[in-house]
Amino acid sequence: MIIDCARHAGVEKHQDLFEYMPYSWRKHFDHYEWTGAVGLASNHIRVSDKFSHDPIPAYRPVSDPERMSLVLLYQGLTVNGWSDQIGAKVYLDALNSYGEENWVSNSSKLAMLVSPHDPAWSASEIRRRAKSSLIGAVSIPLVTQMLGARYWDPIYEACVEVGVPIVVHYSGVEGSYSGTPSLSGSVHQSAFARLILMPHLAESNIASLVFEGAFYRFPELQVLFAGFGFKWVPSLMRRVDHEWRNFRSEVPWVKEKPSSKVLSNIWFSSYPVGEAMDPERWQGMVSDALRDRIVFNSHAPFGNDTVEDVERILGASWLERMMRNGGALLRTTNKVEV
Amino acid sequence: MPRSYAERHAVLPQVGAANAMDMIVSGALERFPQLRVVMVEWGFTWLSSLLSRMDYLWESDRSAAPWVRRRPSEYVAEHFKFATQPLDDTTKMSELATMLGIKNLDRMLLFSSDYPHYDTDHPQLIISKMPDALKARVCYQNAVDAFGPKILRSLGQRI
């Protein structure tokens, strides 16, 4: 069975979301800056309509008993760069509703989006939507509040209550707009530089989660960092344990080595597997326990790693284990039978 | 923004990694091909993932980085040195061997203790962890490559 723990889906045109919005909000969004946005290449700053592109291929879920996919609504992740936080909630609500109707099947579940600007509203949405079997996870756009902060507790409480994991994925505008988390060093000029540094977002938020004691407050909470790769994890685990030994008195609520919480509450994914070439050079750093926390994700339709790519680069035993791990992760939701 | 010093210090190497990466991607090392950079107290084990990520993304889309003329990891090997401190704790010899098996690390790694800071690495600890093939390179040969033979003047003819 193929278990893809993070693939993407998006609307082909924003007008498709209108029927999922109240009429007054439809009027609010019905202007060219918005309706033209999907087809205009951007980085969200459209200097000219010449920079346009075709929308990505629409996702059409199939019913295949040998396949299960967790579907991320990548367009909604970009609300972390929005200044209109109220409009953002309307947009996320519409995307979630559209996704429930169009992207869920016997072989796919939705990673519903929540607002990073309103945890209370988000918690109520999780409780409302996750009653159905359509939701497989909760997706949080990253903002300047680190994920270990108590700010997020209402969302975590709701996730634990309904039995769904968190999925964290970058939107791509991090390091570009105020409101999003900055990237390390300073402002990086190119999209290429920012893409290289995206795993630092995962590292920083994992450090926050373990040092702020989030998994002591919510021992059942499970968090998947999807699309960040996994080669950096051994170095981070050694580093957080090292700092804990040096500064244990500073964080007295952290009772065990921080890496133990990484191995019990955090998951990682394979994409982009191309950066994990020559496993004989690095896999000696990946403990058996850590290998049990790495799942397959295709990232389709962007880059689109296949199971064949994973097998070619890492070998059959890695692939088999990733599928087993994916089943274990999705079973934690009590929503997905695998 | 990290709240505790432990959390902040855990991710501090990101600043070193980000600046090393940016010097390559921005073309600084193409503009100044003789420039040499020594990165101190940032650790080095994160190179394992950073080098392969830079190379993979560059090979996937070279047009995204027009100032980068060759694999980013080649710039790192040619222009950068990294100090040992803080040396990660490892639980197995195989883990240590893999950690020190980063491509071209034998030419990039410099001994550093960070004495007298609280997290100083004892020289004997570092040296004892270095495989024989790396000891001379880490203890002085790479330093001579980085700074020139003038750094050995106090040692006279002993080396």
For A1-37, the pLDDT digits (tens) are: 999 999 999 999 899 999 999 999 999 999 887 887 7
List the single residue in B25, B53, B88 with the smallest CB-CB distance to A238: B88
Over range A79-89, report the average pLDDT.
93
Give the span between the Cα atoms of A179 and A85, in whole angstroms.
Answer: 10
Q: What is the pLDDT at residue A35?
A: 81
Spatial CA neighbour of B104 closest among B132, B64, B61, B142: B142
Mutate to test the interface with A, among B1, B3, B4, B7 (most CBs of A within 10 A): B7
Over range A94-116, report the average pLDDT.
97
Contact check, Cβ <8 Å, B56/A275: yes
Spatial CA neighbour of A143 closest among A129, A155, A130: A155
List the single residue in A190, A212, A282 with the smallest CB-CB distance to B65: A190
Spatial CA neighbour of B10 closest among A198, A250, A204: A204
Does residue B155 surpass a pLDDT of 70? no
Does residue A335 surpass a pLDDT of 60? no
Q: At B9, list the tokens.
A: 């210090």
List the single residue in B21, B49, B101 with the smallest CB-CB distance to A235: B49
Over range B97-115, report the average pLDDT.
95
Spatial CA neighbour of A147 closest among A111, A184, A119: A119
Distances (CA, A) of A59 to A9, A79, A99, A111, A171: 6, 21, 10, 14, 18
Question: Residues of B with CB below 8 A from A200's CB?
Answer: 11, 14, 17-18
Helical axes A191-211 vs A258-265, angle rounded to 10°: 110
Q: What is the pLDDT at residue A17?
A: 95
Which residue, chain included where needed, has tokens 């045109």?
A: A13
Tell me if A267 sits within 8 A of A325, measured CB to CB: yes
Nearest CA in chain A to B11: A204
Contact check, Cβ <8 Å, A250/B101: no
Contact check, Cβ <8 Å, A272/B88: no
User: What ipTM did this prediction achieve?
Assistant: 0.94
Q: Please list, in sequence order, all residues whose beta carbon lies within 8 angstroms of the beta carbon of residue A312, skipping any fewer than 6 positions away.
A: none
Give the span between the Cα atoms of B61 and B90, in whole angstroms.
Answer: 36
Question: Residues of A with CB below 8 A from B95's CB?
Answer: 234, 284-285, 287
Residues linked to residue A113 through DSSP beta bridges, in sequence order: A139
Contact check, Cβ <8 Å, A284/B65: no
Over range A125-140, report the average pLDDT.
94
Which range among A236-250, A273-287, A291-305, B140-154 shows the weakest confidence by mean pLDDT?
B140-154
Tell me if B89 sits within 8 A of B35, measured CB to CB: no
Does residue A338 surpass a pLDDT of 70? no
Question: Residues of B with CB below 8 A from A244's CB?
Answer: 6
Does residue A41 surpass a pLDDT of 60? no
Predicted TM-score (pTM) of this structure: 0.95
Is pLDDT larger for residue A335 or for residue A321? A321
Spatial CA neighbour of A24 closest among A79, A90, A80: A90
Q: What is the pLDDT at residue A297?
A: 98
Percentage of chain B surpassing pLDDT 70? 96
Contact check, Cβ <8 Å, A235/B22: no
Contact check, Cβ <8 Å, A229/B49: yes
Q: At A257, list the tokens.
A: 């080595």
Q: What is the CA radius of gyration of chain A?
A: 19
List the single residue in B22, B43, B55 with the smallest CB-CB distance to A185: B22
Does residue A47 surpass a pLDDT of 60? no
Spatial CA neighbour of A30 closest among A19, A42, A39, A44: A19
Strands B37-39 and B80-83: parallel
For B32-51, the pLDDT digits (tens) are: 999 999 999 999 999 999 99
Average pLDDT, rounded, for chain B: 93
Over range A263-285, report the average pLDDT.
97
Min CA distance, A169 vs chain B (Å)?
17
Percentage of chain A surpassing pLDDT 90? 80
Does residue A157 surpass a pLDDT of 60? yes
Is pLDDT larger for residue A40 or for residue A245? A245
Does residue A284 surpass a pLDDT of 60? yes
Give the span between the Cα atoms of A83 and A89, in whole angstroms.
Answer: 12
